[in-house]
Structure 1
Amino acid sequence: MSQPKSADPAPEKKAAEEEEPVRSPREIRLVMIGLVVTMLLAMLDNLIVGTAMPTIVRDLGGAEHLSWVVTAYILATAASTPIWGKLGDLYGRKGTFLTSIVIFLAGSALSGLSQNMNELIGFRALQGLGAGGLMVGVMSIMGALVPPRDRGKYQGMFAAVMALATVGGPLIGGFLTDHLSWRWTFYINLPLGVVALAVVVVTLKLPKVHNKARIDYVGALLLTTGITALTLITTWGGQDYAWGSKQILGLAALAAATLIAFCYVEQRVQEPMLPLDLFKNLNFTLVSLIGFIVGFVMFGATVFLPLYQQTVQGASATSSGLLLMPMMFGMLVISLVVGQAVTKTGKYRIYPIIGTIVMTGGMLLLSTMGTETSSFTSACWMVVLGAGMGFLMQITMLVAQNSVELKDMGVASSTATLFRTIGGSFGVALFGALFNSRVTETMKERLGDAAASGGKADPNQVSLETLKAMPAPVQDAYHHAVSNGIHTVFLWGAAVAVIAVAASVFMREVPLRGAGAPSKDGDGGKAAEPNAEAVAI
């Protein structure tokens, strides 16, 4: 069982302990350079590597294992995310963050040196292990450096990085593959990583934590197994194995058993990997749910919107990153505006409500797209969806961090990141199943049973060039099939987004730390209560 807390110290001493360090804007801006570069590393990798996959297969062979180049990275990232967050809380965020960068860079270098597909898969897993600590490290360090009230001034930078990575990743990957080598899609991480390392080492000053608590190894193993099983379900389900197959059902049973066991263990250890008491906080629970749905919607949209634009509207796949530019523009602008507003007023509750409503509206608008929808119209609907997510992307992390004590900042950041990641995995899996089912059904209706087997709308199988070579009736049927599939995907997405609307309505307005008014609500406005000796470094 958890150890009881000692009696509160004298009010004067406690106030001094809870006061967060005050840093100058110049100091924060210098650290932000390293954090922004690190986030760019984390977000660019899969987008850059994706465009090089065909060339990698031609060079290394092993096409039957190609999916594992991506799967190994995703699995390692998702499974390690909560562990990195807890290690940062226990042993110091700076050292843990630097370690994750070094592991990521080692995995990048070794991936570029791979001589066969098996080596590449193994090194991608190592790279993913480091990547799990990059995003968590950035967010938890941000939470430790900047009070929540002032964090909005900086969150626009991270929204800009997301937009840059989404648009520029495929373009950079294609350029490096065509003009240098696919190996440079991994080597490009090295100079960026060295810059991030140097900036963080020189500029970041955080307390060095001396904590004698033991790592919750059993909890870490159970949580890792459960997350891995869930990720494999969403990766394999409906693709490699049928949803009702023994493999998928077995993974579902394993995920349920390990996560139930994890909850049991976490209530009985002194320093749990993920303190379940955090979920007694209403705001923390609600923003975790909203983050899951944001990931669900965002990743689903980023997968199926380019497919619709390329297949139905005839857009070029070469500039696939540019296809999402309207959505990223809406997200970036609104995120900047909301960040400044939160810093100025200290109020945030209204933004998740507006954001979830606008996000739901954007999904409904996108569900109306058909074979005659113009590129301009679809771009306008994408701006609406992006605006909705712009209200939510940084606010969910802000509320999660403001709902916990400073000592749990890493766990809060990793939990918010994990929920968004798992939500994205489930979104892609569910949307993919709905999409393929509707496409097959439409192809059968228009061309008969013989065409149904060709209705699987995998963008890797039906390219724009392949589609143009098909007879006109088949092209027309496929255009309608994809449009119907998009309608189904976004209509279901809107239905799921309504849950986020309901969750946001129940969120409470807890004063942000740094707002000049201490919280009197048990929902988390208070600052940290240090439980370990700290020495400034």
Structure 2
Amino acid sequence: EANQQAEELENTLLTGYKLVAIMAGLCCCVLCISLDNTIVATTIPRITEHFDSFADAGWYASAYLLPTSAVTLVYGRIYTFFPIKWVYLTALFLFELGSLVSGVAPSSTCLIIGRAISGLGGGGLFSGSLIIISQCIPRHRRPIFSGLIMGIYGIGSVIAPPLGGAFTDNITWRWCFYINLPLGAVTALAILFALQSTEPIMKAPWQEKMRRMDPLGILTFLPAIICLLLALQWGGTTYPWANGRIISLFTVFGILLLCFIGLQVYAGEKAMLPPRLLRGRNIWGSALFGFCLNSAIFIFVYYLPIWFQSVKGASATESGVMNLPLTLSNALLAMGSGLLVTAVRYYYGPVMLLSAGLTCISAGLLTILHPDSAAAAWAGYQVFFGLAAGLGIQLPVFVVQTTLPTADIPTATALMAFVQVLGGAVFVFVGQNVFQNQLVAGLLHAELPAELDVQAVLGAGPAGLRAIASGDTLVMLLSVYHDAVVRTFFVAVGLAVASVLGAGAVEWRP
């Protein structure tokens, strides 16, 4: 019965103006959630000044990313047992409600609550957009449309920081959240009137749905992910790694993760993440590939601007512009890769290996940058890396949408979205700790003048080095910063190498 329902749902395809309306709505929605990931990066100083809330600065981003990471995989199960149209609209409502609360927030606490509400909705929108494509686009055309969605996501990530800065400087930081309201309205209208309301992929009585939603799995999985991300965020910064809070968070994470794995094995087909899916080499290989590749991208996107600001003396805005060769090339090839895999008749394995191999080479080239590197070097290496990673970043989703039965697509799509979100979140924190540890170690071994201590250098930040030092002292500080950033880049190189293992597991057949 489930297979029959799946085939009926798969035949609900869109053409003409309805397809255009749906794609326009999905693009607006994906643009919103990609903006929300990083748009606050340039507005945090103004927000903390407005609310006198410097201690809350880290939560303005984390309050969104934590629930997003935690609920992404859960949404895969919800999309399986409930009508996709109404689940998507519910997630969109939560996202928009959170944006409204954040925009009108009278206090820092209210803003954090709004960001958390947005995260609860945002966790279901990216995977939901890809699931909708899988239900209304024929299999042979899905890579093209999914590639468009991935490209829009990449473009949103590119324009978010400068857009946030423009709103903050020229209007108000509140427009960083208000902008989601009209874009969300376009999406809501498109989904309401152009997307046919269908039966759930898996039909079952209400009580059976609740059992197959795997409530015990959810109750162990959500707190496990939150404990992991909190430990990584606080460890080495807010608290020392040996602090009891950090040790407790890692311990609870480990216990809950073991419980979750045991519950999934015991529940079988009724599990939130059926073990049958993970036994397929295409699925676990694609998940490993996506996790490693996206993590490597995040490290370069976050830490290349630090290199530009410190070593090259760029301003925050200039560093964002200097990072465009990577982000734009990545987004453009992400959009075009759907055409490529269609042309090679869905042989994903070789394309994944090509992407992983080129990513290894280009990531390695970025580690040989030096303080005197010309623009042709740092821009060219970024373009090389952006194209290499952009070629592969959307392939895990393509594998899911074109090789699995329709009934498995929501859960597997959510899994691919989850591992990419989790990888980015985890390795941004890992990179932060590697960078800070290397920077402090380098400063402690440097022969700083008497009037300059380690805390003064750290307090100045990458953009303030030239205000506190000059001459040989400045050259020494720039060398220390350069070495710390390059050590962080080596983490990305290791991830790129690990992505080869995932790519090698994917079968060489359509």
TM-score normalized with structure 1 length? 0.87
Q: Could you tell me which amino acid in structure 1 is paired with residue 439 of structure 2? A: V
SS in structure 2 opposite 1:370?
A: coil
Asked whether the 8 Å contact 1:235–1:429 carries over to 2, the reply is yes
How far apart are the structure 2 equivalents of 1:457 and 1:349?
A: 45
CA deviation after TM superposition for structure 1 residue 358, in Å: 0.9
Change (3 A) 1:93 1:286: same
Q: What SS class does the counterpart of residue 97 from structure 1 fall into?
A: helix
1:344 aligns with 2:335: no
**Pair 1:28-2:26 in alignment:** no
Structure 2 residue aligned with 1:529: none
Query: AA paired with 1:263?
Result: I
1:164-212 CA-to-partner distances (Å, cap 9, x unmatched) read: 2133212221121122211121111111111111111111125222432
1:4-83 matches, cutoff 5 A: 20-24=11-15, 26-83=17-74
Structure 1 residues 14 and 126, CA, compared in 2 at 3 Å: closer, same or farther?
closer
Is residue 2:299 matched to residue 1:300?
Answer: yes
Letter in 1 for 2:272: M
Distance in 2 (alpha carbons) for counterparts of 1:109 and 1:455: 39
* Structure 1 residues 157-196: aligned runs within 5 Å: 157-196=148-187
- The offset of 1:431, in angstroms, is 1.7
Say if 1:375 and 1:360 are closer, same or farther in 2 by CA, change over 3 A.
Answer: same
TM-aligned CA distance change 1:196 to 1:20, over 3 Å: same
Match of residue 499 from structure 1 = 498
Q: Distance between the aligned counterparts of 1:245 and 1:59, measured in 2?
A: 32
| Contact 1:91 1:211 survives alignment (8 Å) | no
Which segment drifts farther, 99-108 or 396-405? 396-405
Deviation at 1:155, TM superposition (A): 3.4
**Aligned-partner SS, 1:182:** coil
Partner in structure 2 of residue 311 of structure 1: 310
Q: Which residue of 2 aligns with 1:395?
A: 395
Q: Are 1:97 and 2:88 counterparts?
A: yes
1:288 corresponds to which letter in structure 2? A
Write the mapping of 1:114-513 to structure 2, written as runs, cut at 5 A: 114-209=105-200, 210-212=203-205, 213-214=209-210, 215-269=213-267, 271-346=270-345, 347-448=347-448, 453-454=454-455, 461-465=460-464, 467-511=466-510
Summarize the Cα distance change of 1:183–1:35 in structure 2 as closer, same or farther, 3 Å threshold. same
> In structure 2, what is the Cα distance between the partners aligned to 1:48 and 1:124?
12
Aligned pair in 2 of structure 1 residues 234, 456: CA closer, same or farther (>3 Å)?
Answer: farther
8 A contact 2:239–2:246 mirrored in 1: yes
Give the Å deviation of 1:403.
4.5
Pairwise CA distance, 1:87: 0.7
Query: 3-state DSSP class of the match of 2:507?
Result: coil
Shift of 1:475: 2.0
Deviation at 1:138, TM superposition (A): 0.9
Q: How far, CA to CA, are the matches of 1:497 and 1:16 in structure 2?
A: 38
Preserved contact between residue 148 and residue 398 of structure 1 (Cα < 8 Å):
no
Q: Give the whole-Å Cα distance in 2 for the aligned partners of 1:350 and 1:331.
A: 19
Specify the alignment match of 1:535 in structure 2.
Answer: none
Secondary structure, aligned partner of 1:301: helix
Question: What secondary structure is seen at the aligned counterpart in 2 of 1:181?
Answer: coil
Distance 1:129 1:15 in 2: 27
Kindly indicate whether the alpha-carbon contact (under 8 Å) linking 1:226 and 1:255 is maintained by their aligned counterparts in 2.
yes
Letter in 2 for 1:170: P
Could you say if the C-alpha distance between residues 44 and 248 of structure 1 is closer, same or farther in structure 2, counting changes exceeding 3 Å? Answer: same
| Alpha-carbon contact 2:67-2:123 (below 8 Å) kept | yes
Gaps of 5+ in 1: 1-5, 512-537
Cα offset, 1:319, TM superposition: 4.4
More displaced, 223-232 or 14-23? 14-23
Residue identity matched to 1:328: T
For the Cα contact (< 8 Å) 1:436–1:455, is it kept in 2? no
Deviations 1:235-281, CA, capped at 9 Å, x for gaps: 11221122232222211111111111112222334632222221011
1:264 to 1:484, Cα distance in 2 relative to 1, 3 A: same
Unaligned runs of 5+ in 2: none
Q: How far does residue 448 in structure 1 lie from its aligned partner after superposition?
A: 5.0
Distance in 1 (alpha carbons) for counterparts of 2:369 and 2:378: 7
Are the aligned partners of 2:130 and 2:146 in contact in 1 as well (CA < 8 Å)? no
Q: Spell out, residue by residue over 1:388-441, the C-alpha distance to the aligned partner (whole angstroms, 9 max, x if none).
A: 111111111111334432122221111111111111122112222222222223
Residue 219 of structure 1 aligns with an amino acid whose one-letter code is G
The answer on whether the counterparts of 2:155 and 2:328 sit within 8 Å (CA) in structure 1 is no
Letter paired with 2:77 = K
Q: Note the C-alpha offset of 1:486.
A: 2.3
Range with bigger deviation, 117-126 or 263-272:
263-272
SS of corresponding position for 2:365: helix
- Identify the range of structure 1 (405-414 vs 125-134) with the bigger mean alpha-carbon deviation: 405-414
Contact kept in structure 2, 1:436 and 1:456, CA below 8 Å = no
- SS class of match (1:81): helix
Tell me the CA shift for residue 355 of structure 1. 0.4
- DSSP-derived class of the 2:266 partner: coil
In 1, Cα distance between equivalents of 2:387 and 2:320: 18
Secondary structure in 1 matching 2:438: helix
| 1:140 partner amino acid | I
Report the residue type matching 1:453 in the other structure. Answer: V
- Kindly provide the amino acid, as one letter, of the partner of residue 51 in structure 2: L
Which residue is equivalent to 1:531? none
The CA deviation at 1:21 is 3.5
The one-letter amino acid paired with 1:108 is S
> How far is the alpha carbon of 1:84 from its aligned partner?
1.6
| Residue 371 of structure 1, CA deviation | 0.9
- CA–CA distance in structure 2, aligned partners of residues 205 and 174 of structure 1: 39
The CA distance in 1 between the partners of 2:160 and 2:80, in whole Å, is 32
Deviation at 1:456, TM superposition (A): 7.2
CA contact (8 A) 2:30 2:149 kept: yes
Q: Which amino acid aligns with 1:185?
A: C
Instruction: State yes or no: 1:108 paired with 2:107.
Output: no
8 Å CA contact retained: 1:101, 1:131: yes
Q: Which moves more between the two structures, 499-508 or 154-163?
A: 154-163
Is the 2:359–2:389 contact (alpha carbons within 8 Å) kept by the matching residues of 1?
Answer: yes
Distance verdict in 2 for CA 1:349–1:243, change over 3 Å: same
